[in-house]
């Protein structure tokens, strides 16, 4: 095999009862065999693949016992990296694992770079690039649904779909060549152009279908950026604390308590939210508060969802009306809070100003209405049309960008075909689409990009 032998600690540092040092490459078995002593004297080099062995790790230079271990022996090609893999299962202490790793490095392995085991699985052809990226997404997934998206992608669902599209493009190109090469067809263009348009339209519609999943996919991956706004003292920080079920933000009865942006991740009925508490918006002379108010306005611009809080025990103020106006073009939920106090607000006029938007009444203090708010958020996100089976989501920025480019490129091809430009010009656009889709799965992609992508992995993966 063309690669050297690598090793790393594959479990979290200093936590847990067992820690694993993983070794991959041609020398993996030989290195482990030199260090391993079995009570019965059996040797790893003589053992069959996919077996586990009890024994001790010994430093051959001093004959000193370093660790008591279990060794997993997995020979190529049916392994994670498709190379010989050894896993040394050690006692979990930080000192112990590091001693084992040091010994393995001393006897011929090289310290693996972040993501290098997964990179080997990619370079040795076990998985493609989008599957490798899914491995990383899986580790970072914050909710069950995000994890399912990653698992599906790791399983190759997206790769297979991309493969089908590329195959169709390739077959079209081949058919075009055949038509050109066999001039017994009187009119090559008559035969070829409709075929290019038909296949092009199909690829285009499939790309559009994939791109349609990207906003949900991206949110599942990164969280729905949800900003809580409202006048000072309406209960914004109380709402954040209630949703994250912890006292993360300071709550007082002093208006202008929150001065800076507070961000928390929370799972609301399967929807990952990046929840942002802001400084209450009002005109103020206080310099610090004014900066806070300015920041509130800033994060509002980048929000996927806005929760506007109003105080039900006070009249609707001009500031409230301005905020209702600001959020008009945005996805927003209006929450009328403090229903435990005598009510002054006119819900009817709030609803009128809110238009189509949901209006919910709560008493955050008494934990009333918060559940309804959570259900409304989930309903907005899943849009009521939860599909019977999970669609193939595109959740990765790199994939989304490439799909947009591929869409443009196939549209160029279709347009060119419809305008009856010379066939070789159309072939260029189709080939370009094929290449762009290939970058998603890592078929037509540069080494520098591959290195950059894998370097974002964690050590030992
Ligand atoms: N101890 C340990 N646990 C682990 C891993 C590991 O590397 N070590 N994994 C690391 O992420 C994950 C498991 N992922 C794996 C994926 C593929 C193969 C593998 O051997 N595939 C072969 C053979 C399949 C077969 O036997 O049919 C193949 O696809 O050719 C192994 C682990 C999670 N748990
Ligand atoms: N009666 C009542 N009081 C509430 C309710 N929700 C919050 N409060 C109180 O209102 C006051 C202000 O709450 P905060 O959560 O700090 O309000 P805020 O909107 O974050 O205020 P600023 O950070 O100053 O903009 C606190 O005393 C809360 O206990 C409610 O539903 N009913
Ligand atoms: Mg606050």
pLDDT tens sequence across 99-144: 999 999 999 999 999 999 999 999 999 999 999 999 988 888 877 7
pLDDT in tens, 17-72: 899 999 999 999 999 999 999 999 999 999 999 999 999 999 999 999 999 999 99
238 CA closest ligand 2 atom index:
15
**Residues with Cβ within 6 A of ligand 1?**
20, 78-80, 87, 126
120 is in an annotated binding site: no
Provide the pLDDT for residue 390: 65
d(CA 72, CA 87): 5
Which residue carries 């037509």 as its tokens?
444
Q: If you measure from the C-alpha of residue 232 to the centroid of ligand 3, how many angstroms do you get, rounded to a whole number?
A: 7
Strand residues in 64-144 grouped as ranges (E): 64-74, 85-91, 110-111
> Which residue owns the Cα nearest ligand 2 atom 21?
233
Please provide the average confidence, as pLDDT, over all residues in the chain: 90
Provide the pLDDT for residue 387: 46
d(CA 5, CA 242): 51
Any atom of ligand 2 within 6 Å of the Cβ of 166: no
> Sign of dihedral through CA atoms 48, 50, 52, 57?
positive
Which percentage of the chain shows pLDDT scores above 70?
96
390 is in an annotated binding site: no
Collapse the DSSP code of 53 into the 3-class scheme (helix H, G, I; strand E, B; otherwise coil) and give the result: strand
CB 161 within 8 A of CB 437: no
For residues 277 and 192, the model is more confident at: 277
d(CA 241, CA 239): 5
What pTM value is reported for the model? 0.76
d(CA 235, CA 247): 13
Of the listed ligands, the closest to the CA of 76 is: 1
186 is in an annotated binding site: no
Provide the pLDDT for residue 237: 95
How many CB atoms are located within 10 Å of the residue 11 CB?
17
d(CA 53, CA 73): 8
How many CB atoms are located within 10 Å of the residue 280 CB?
25
Exposed/middle/buried for residue 303 (C-beta within 10 Å: 0-12, 13-18, 19+): buried
For residues 62 and 182, the model is more confident at: 62
d(CA 158, CA 65): 48
Q: If you measure from the C-alpha of residue 251 to the centroid of ligand 3, how many angstroms do you get, rounded to a whole number?
A: 6
- Say yes or no to pLDDT of 382 above 80: no
ipTM here:
0.74
Q: If you measure from the C-alpha of residue 364 to the centroid of ligand 2, how many angstroms do you get, rounded to a whole number?
A: 8
For residues 33 and 215, the model is more confident at: 33
Q: If you measure from the C-alpha of residue 2 to the centroid of ligand 1, how many angstroms do you get, rounded to a whole number?
A: 21
341 CA closest ligand 2 atom index:
1
DSSP state letter for 363: B
Of the listed ligands, the closest to the CA of 72 is: 1
For residues 325 and 290, the model is more confident at: 325
């Amino acid at each position: 095999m063309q690669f050297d032998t690598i090793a790393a600690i594959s479990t979290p540092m200093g936590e847990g009862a067992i820690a694993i040092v993983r070794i991959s490459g041609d020398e993996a078995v030989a290195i482990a065999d030199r260090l391993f002593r079995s009570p019965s004297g059996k040797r790893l080099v003589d053992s069959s693949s996919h077996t586990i062995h009890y024994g001790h790790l010994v430093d051959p230079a001093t004959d000193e016992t370093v660790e008591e271990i279990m060794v997993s022996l997995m020979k190529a090609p049916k392994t994670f990296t498709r190379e010989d893999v050894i896993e040394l299962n050690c006692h979990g202490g930080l000192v112990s694992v590091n001693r084992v790793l040091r010994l393995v490095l001393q006897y011929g392995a090289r310290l693996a770079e972040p993501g290098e085991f997964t990179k080997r699985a990619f370079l040795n052809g076990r998985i493609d690039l989008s599957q490798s990226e899914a491995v990383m997404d899986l580790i970072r997934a914050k909710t069950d649904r995000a994890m399912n998206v990653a698992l599906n992608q790791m399983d190759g669902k997206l790769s297979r779909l991309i493969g089908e599209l590329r195959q169709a493009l390739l077959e079209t190109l081949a058919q075009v060549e055949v038509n050109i090469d066999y001039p017994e067809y009187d009119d090559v263009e008559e035969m070829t152009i409709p075929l290019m348009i038909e296949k092009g339209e199909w690829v285009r519609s499939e790309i559009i279908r994939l791109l349609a999943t990207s906003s949900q996919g991206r949110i599942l991956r990164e969280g729905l950026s949800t900003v809580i706004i409202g006048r000072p003292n309406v209960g914004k920080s109380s709402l954040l604390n209630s949703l994250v079920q912890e006292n993360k933000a300071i709550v007082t009865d002093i208006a202008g308590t929150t001065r800076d942006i507070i961000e928390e991740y929370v799972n609301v009925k399967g929807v990952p939210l990046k929840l942002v508490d802001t400084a209450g918006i009002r005109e103020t002379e206080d310099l610090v508060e004014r900066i806070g108010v300015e920041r509130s306005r800033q994060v509002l611009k980048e929000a996927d969802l806005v929760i506007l809080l109003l105080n039900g025990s006070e009249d609707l103020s001009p500031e409230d009306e301005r905020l209702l106006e600001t959020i008009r073009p945005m996805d927003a939920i209006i929450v009328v809070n403090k229903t435990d106090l005598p009510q002054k607000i006119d819900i009817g006029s709030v609803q009128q100003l809110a238009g189509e938007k949901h209006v919910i009444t709560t008493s955050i203090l008494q934990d009333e209405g918060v559940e309804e708010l959570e259900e409304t958020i989930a309903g907005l996100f899943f849009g009521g049309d939860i599909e019977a089976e999970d669609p193939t989501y595109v959740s990765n920025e790199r994939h989304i960008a490439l799909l947009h480019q591929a869409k443009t490129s196939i549209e160029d091809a279709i347009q060119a075909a419809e305008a009856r430009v010379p066939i070789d010009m159309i072939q260029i656009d189709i080939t370009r689409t094929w290449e762009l889709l290939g970058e998603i799965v890592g078929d037509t992609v540069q080494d520098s990009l591959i290195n950059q992508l894998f370097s974002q992995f964690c050590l030992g993966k």
